[in-house]
Every structure is written in structure tokens, then in C-alpha cells.
A and B are shown apart, each in its own frame.
Chain A
């Protein structure tokens, strides 16, 4: 499978614990996005990376959340001191800067399967 992958697929944790999720984008994609999806809602934008640079963060991303993409390839999303309100599906997506070479349609966002977080 050469699509976007995420790990783990499910995470159950107790309130106050820290959790970290990983996203591996499609290999030639230089753009990477994190979204959060709660039950019955559409995905909500959290943050965006172009290569290793984090260029935009939503106000939804409180200071308990941090994301990195250290080598411009995979990305991690860490949530510190988890709260029950953090329970959601965390989706990663990747795309390619328009005009660059590679497979697929440029600038189209391809989603991973998500990590479902449950905070008890």
C-alpha cells in the first residue's frame, strides 16, 4: 500500500497521559496536514507542513498539542496531558506542491486511515 499510513490505528489512554501519533505520507508528497474529526462532523484543520516547516497552526491546536516533521518525511502529533475532549479521530493527509513532478494529481489531499483516540 503506497498511500498515507498512520500508527497506531487506535489508542486508549487515561486522562492526563501523553500520547504520540505518527503519519507517513505518500513518499513524494512535500505537504502534510493534520485534521481532527469528531463523531458526526467533518474533519477540522489542525496544522500544515511544507517539507519540514510547520507553516500554519489552527487555534484548535492548544499548547498541549505539538507536531513535528523533522526530516520532511513522516510527522508526529503529540498531545500532552490528555483531556476527555481530545477524544476524536486524528487524520493525516498529504499532497504535492502544484507543478512538481510525481504520481497522482498535484495539490489533492490524500488521507490516511486515522488514529482513533479515546481518553478515559
Chain B
């Protein structure tokens, strides 16, 4: 089955810096890659996603890149703000009639003012 590895497990940056979180997946049939942000005690919230027919997607300060050959995808956050502090999870899924998400282990991002 699919396996997703996520790095780093923790990331500390200064406000205004960029942050990059990387994930690798094992199943080349995976075709959907969402990123979720989870603040302490709250629900995971989708922040951006990408499908396998696209190499890059951007939404304001957030971008995701996908390298299907290398089977890795990354989340890029520019001009980080303290409110970006949270745990970020990547996921990969194969459409087998539905999207069964396999999540990474999460990255705790801390943005210091």
C-alpha cells in the first residue's frame, strides 16, 4: 500500500522567512496530494491540493510542487506569519472509486515574531 514520509518533523522560522515541507510517496499510481493545516485542538483544514496532471499550484503565499518522477511533493509558504504556526500534514491518495488519503506524520511549524 501507499506510504508517505514527511520532513522535517519540526521547523522553526522567523516571521517573514519562507518555509518548505517535503513529502515522498511510494505508490506511483497516487494522483491526488492535499495539504492540511491543523492548529492545536482543532480540525485539519485543507489549505491547498494538487493533482497528478499539474506540476505546481499557487494560492497567495502558499504553493505546492509535484515531481511525479521522483515521487515527491513540497509545500512552500512565503512571508510566514505567526498565525501560520501549526502542524501541517501532507497526504497522497489513489482514486480507487474514492480518495483514500494516506497521511504523513506531520510537520510542526513555529513562526517566531
Name A residues whose Cβ lies closer than 8 Å to a Cβ of B. Answer: 3-4, 31, 40-45, 48, 50, 55-56, 91, 95, 107-114
Contacts and interface: CB of A to CB of B under 8 A. Distances in A.
B45 interface: yes
B34 A108 contact: yes
Contacts of A56: 98, 100
Contacts of A41: 103, 105-106
A48 B106 CA distance: 23
A111 B45 CA distance: 7
B97 A109 contact: no
A3 B46 CA distance: 13
B61 interface: no
B105 A40 contact: yes
A110 B92 CA distance: 15
A111 B47 CA distance: 12
B33 interface: no
A44 B44 contact: no
A45 B100 contact: yes
B103 A44 contact: yes
Contact of B49 (A50, A108, A112, A113): A108
Contacts of B44: 43, 91, 111
Contacts of A111: 36, 43-45
A113 B98 CA distance: 22
B106 A108 contact: no
A56 B96 CA distance: 10
Contacts of B99: 95, 107, 109
A63 B103 CA distance: 24
A108 B46 CA distance: 8
B81 to A, nearest CB: 23
A43 B103 contact: yes
B43 A42 contact: no
B104 A112 contact: no
A42 B101 CA distance: 10
